[in-house]
Amino acid sequence: MARKPIHLEMAGMLTPRERMWQAIRQKRTFTCMELQEACGRPMLNLYSIQDYLLALARAGYLKQLNKQGQDARAKFDQVRFELVKDSFEAPRLDKQGRQVEQGTATLAMWRAMKALKEFDYKDVQKAATLGKVCEVSLQTAKSYVTALARAGYFRTVRESAGPMPARYRLVRDTGAHPPAITRRKAVFDRNVGEFTWQQTEQEVVDGLE
Q: Are residues 47 and 77 in the same domain?
A: yes
Q: Are residues 109 and 173 in the same domain?
A: yes
Q: Is 62 part of a structural domain of the chain? A: yes
Q: Is 203 part of a structural domain of the chain? A: no
DSSP code per residue over 36-97 = HHHT-SSPPPHHHHHHHHHHHHHTTSEEE-S--SGGG-S-TTT-EEEE-S--SSPP-B-TTS
* Domains in the chain, number: 2
Q: Is 182 part of a structural domain of the chain? A: no
Q: Is the pTM of this model over 0.75?
A: no
Predicted local distance difference test score (pLDDT) of residue 8: 38
For residue 128, the enclosing domain spans 104-177
Q: Are residues 108 and 47 in the same domain?
A: no
Predicted local distance difference test score (pLDDT) of residue 2: 42
Q: Is 205 part of a structural domain of the chain? A: no
Q: Is 186 part of a structural domain of the chain? A: no
Predicted local distance difference test score (pLDDT) of residue 9: 40
Amino acid at 202: Q
Q: Is 200 part of a structural domain of the chain? A: no
**145-201, pLDDT tens digit by residue?**
999 999 999 999 999 999 999 999 999 999 988 999 888 788 999 898 888 877 666
**131-147, pLDDT tens digit by residue?**
766 889 999 999 999 99
**78-115, pLDDT tens digit by residue?**
889 999 999 888 888 888 988 876 668 899 999 999 99
Q: Is 152 left (phi over 0), alpha (psi -120 to 50) or beta?
A: left
**Average pLDDT of the chain?**
85
